Structure 1
């Protein structure tokens, strides 16, 4: 099978050839177009895909000539919505056509209607070219797609589509081989990726990056600061990673501002790659002139130290989600021990209280710590107590006597309470709470990392240039869809879906956003073709297997 586009053909006519064959009168037709010499005319002339749908010049049609009954007759208006009819160039629709079906179109001469005496097919990956000669010495050449400076356009488009959609050539090649559909092989694909695809991705990424940086610099020039979130992603689980990408996100717009790709050979170990990427990325943003107000990260000890020693003017905040996840893990482990089952019903409320303590403190470190430790009084049914000579109360409304009796409060001397106390009063946790009072989260970065798996799977190894290009594709995809609104029904009601998380015992309604927009891919495809048309870009065609058949 081959990918085919609306045909174009170069034909030569013998002046001595007659326009009738075996008593069959045929009309003279307009000259077909050569894809190598007049590609621009192909878009302008609305030629039919079928050989029997040729437009006439001056002479009226001869009703004695009837096309084969199997041919389709269609008017230009029947497919007015097709891309080819609208002249969309590379974006026109393409079809998988069986070779035997394609050769049926070359049984009759397109010029005089005589039988075709000889056809010769030549293939170059996804492109097939057919040379034909009829009994009246008319001949022509047809190609399934146009050429770009000697390269089949579809070969370049297939390679670009593989990379730009986050797929791998190995997977697509297996699919194509099973379907017996020729596409560029490994050598040709990786050569195109090196010369055309990766440079185009890098240039498009730089354009988007500079646009974001220009906006941030203008924001800083007006006297404001930039708030950043940062997190690292390794290319494989465990402690044997080869790459680590450290991403910085604007906390206001949720756009990825900058990313650093670190290879393990640039650091002392795979664990140290995170710190290397963080320092390198933050230094770059500061050197560009950004005024950073605070940076939110996880509780990495190495990043905590370097922020304290080298970036003391920038406030360092911790992501609450990571802390709450660790607290929940410790409480779950304690509740599974003997005599501590009473703690299990409280775990969800305890983690929610951690979020509440950080959110309601409004930047006050003492209030945050006091509200968190007040949990030890509330969970025992005590809602008013003294702390350092000051009277404290729970922030919730007063409970009725019935509510007070219905709650399963913990006893201060029970193993469940004592285990909870060790978690709540942990010195490291109380210290870190002071860096969580602005209630900052890096959940949107986790969403970006999840979407990045589409372009760079952790179970697949990529070269350095390929890994960088795929990371940049993920960033452009994320930044292009960062403001997606919630989808609505035909009645205008917001759409939602219900999920049942494993960690939860209840259904949760989550909003459904509108589908992502992938317009940046169309721009990349156009840039690839423009780069191919650039004569200054040197591309040496790798040796490819070309097949030829004569009938």
Structure 2
């Protein structure tokens, strides 16, 4: 806890000691949206507030849009509080208005009644002091999703369950990088008619399904080229292939594990040792 306070104080944009160095403390947008989603989902589980689930995606999307659009914290707050009015079908208020176009007959969703139990719960989340205290750290709209994806990809080649020597680990990471870079932008799968193949994914918090495009199978075309280069490097290196050498007759490794004390007679061990299944 003390360490977190020290980091926050050091990276404060107004009075932190890193201010003059131009260092800014940013938080991951994806994690911010995920935390907001969890708070709304938890509030929707309370009796009489299930309507918040229908607005969960819209509220999270509004948070993304506010962080991407706003340049300052005040600008963010002016946009962010609009969700409290929008869900009640109020699109113009004293301090501002919604930025969307005319909705016509509506979104096809049930509007939340103003000052209802659900609306008060949403207002409590939107105006949460702890939430708003760090909201300026999302305004640079940064995410480490690509980096985390690559780190997960490395685990396919170098699992944490196994120990590797530095050269072996480096080689596995290089293979993971080759695989990731070669297949990162591969096209999505399509049917014979050319239609994109889609799959459904269920979100337990929002209690709804979403779609994602299925990517084509990996080809690993770079493997043959890599093997050819390795073989060519070996043939042109001028170094012969390593050969197995037989151990000398007097090599101590042929004796196996040498105990520090001489072994006692078998008869003596039979008297002192009790073994299952031998009747001793």
TM range (shorter): 0.5 to 0.7
Long gaps (5+) in structure 2: 248-280
1:433 aligns with 2:135: yes
Instruction: Please report how far the alpha carbon of residue 417 of structure 1 lies from its aligned counterpart in structure 2 after TM superposition.
Output: 3.0
Q: 2:22 aligns with which of 307, 310, 313?
A: 313
Tell me how far apart the structure 2 counterparts of residues 337 and 442 of structure 1 sit (CA, whole Å).
Answer: 33
Tell me how far apart the structure 2 counterparts of residues 394 and 514 of structure 1 sit (CA, whole Å).
Answer: 41
1:395 corresponding residue in structure 2: 99
Structure number with the higher helix fraction is: 2
Please report the TM-score for the alignment, with normalisation by the length of structure 1: 0.37
Tell me how far apart the structure 2 counterparts of residues 543 and 509 of structure 1 sit (CA, whole Å).
Answer: 61
Instruction: Please report how far the alpha carbon of residue 524 of structure 1 lies from its aligned counterpart in structure 2 after TM superposition.
Output: 3.6
Conserved in 1, the CA contact under 8 Å of 2:37 and 2:60?
Answer: yes
Tell me how far apart the structure 2 counterparts of residues 457 and 529 of structure 1 sit (CA, whole Å).
Answer: 27
Q: 2:54 aligns with which of 333, 341, 345?
A: 345
1:408 corresponding residue in structure 2: 111
Structure number, greater radius of gyration: 1
Tell me how far apart the structure 2 counterparts of residues 419 and 542 of structure 1 sit (CA, whole Å).
Answer: 76
Tell me how far apart the structure 1 counterparts of residues 244 and 17 of structure 2 sit (CA, whole Å).
Answer: 53
Paired residues in the alignment total: 238
Q: 1:456 to 1:313 in 2, by over 3 A?
A: same
Q: How does 1:189-208 map to 2 (within 5 A)?
A: none
Q: 1:454 aligns with which of 143, 153, 156?
A: 156
Q: How does 1:85-234 map to 2 (within 5 A)?
A: none
Instruction: Please report how far the alpha carbon of residue 535 of structure 1 lies from its aligned counterpart in structure 2 after TM superposition.
Output: 4.4
Q: 2:197 aligns with which of 496, 502, 505?
A: 496
Conserved in 1, the CA contact under 8 Å of 2:33 and 2:60?
Answer: yes
Q: 1:478 aligns with which of 164, 173, 180?
A: 180
Conserved in 2, the CA contact under 8 Å of 1:324 and 1:354?
Answer: yes
Tell me how far apart the structure 2 counterparts of residues 366 and 342 of structure 1 sit (CA, whole Å).
Answer: 29
Tell me how far apart the structure 2 counterparts of residues 472 and 301 of structure 1 sit (CA, whole Å).
Answer: 36
Q: Secondary structure at the match of 2:198?
A: strand
Q: Considering only aligned residues, what root-mean-square deviation do their CA atoms show, in Å?
A: 3.8
Instruction: Please report how far the alpha carbon of residue 451 of structure 1 lies from its aligned counterpart in structure 2 after TM superposition.
Output: 2.8
2:44 corresponding residue in structure 1: 335
Conserved in 1, the CA contact under 8 Å of 2:203 and 2:210?
Answer: no
Instruction: Please report how far the alpha carbon of residue 324 of structure 1 lies from its aligned counterpart in structure 2 after TM superposition.
Output: 0.6
1:419 aligns with 2:128: no
2:87 corresponding residue in structure 1: 379
Tell me how far apart the structure 1 counterparts of residues 50 and 86 of structure 2 sit (CA, whole Å).
Answer: 18
Q: Secondary structure at the match of 1:501?
A: strand
1:367 corresponding residue in structure 2: 75
Q: Secondary structure at the match of 2:94?
A: strand
Q: Secondary structure at the match of 2:56?
A: helix
Conserved in 1, the CA contact under 8 Å of 2:29 and 2:138?
Answer: yes
Q: 1:412 to 1:537 in 2, by over 3 A?
A: farther
Long gaps (5+) in structure 1: 1-271, 273-298, 545-551
Tell me how far apart the structure 1 counterparts of residues 5 and 184 of structure 2 sit (CA, whole Å).
Answer: 27
Structure number with the higher strand fraction is: 1
Conserved in 2, the CA contact under 8 Å of 1:359 and 1:437?
Answer: yes
Instruction: Please report how far the alpha carbon of residue 425 of structure 1 lies from its aligned counterpart in structure 2 after TM superposition.
Output: 1.7
Conserved in 1, the CA contact under 8 Å of 2:201 and 2:212?
Answer: no
Q: 1:455 to 1:303 in 2, by over 3 A?
A: farther
Tell me how far apart the structure 1 counterparts of residues 42 and 79 of structure 2 sit (CA, whole Å).
Answer: 24
Tell me how far apart the structure 2 counterparts of residues 374 and 317 of structure 1 sit (CA, whole Å).
Answer: 24
Q: Secondary structure at the match of 1:462?
A: coil
Q: 1:477 to 1:304 in 2, by over 3 A?
A: farther
Tell me how far apart the structure 2 counterparts of residues 406 and 327 of structure 1 sit (CA, whole Å).
Answer: 21
Tell me how far apart the structure 2 counterparts of residues 369 and 537 of structure 1 sit (CA, whole Å).
Answer: 70
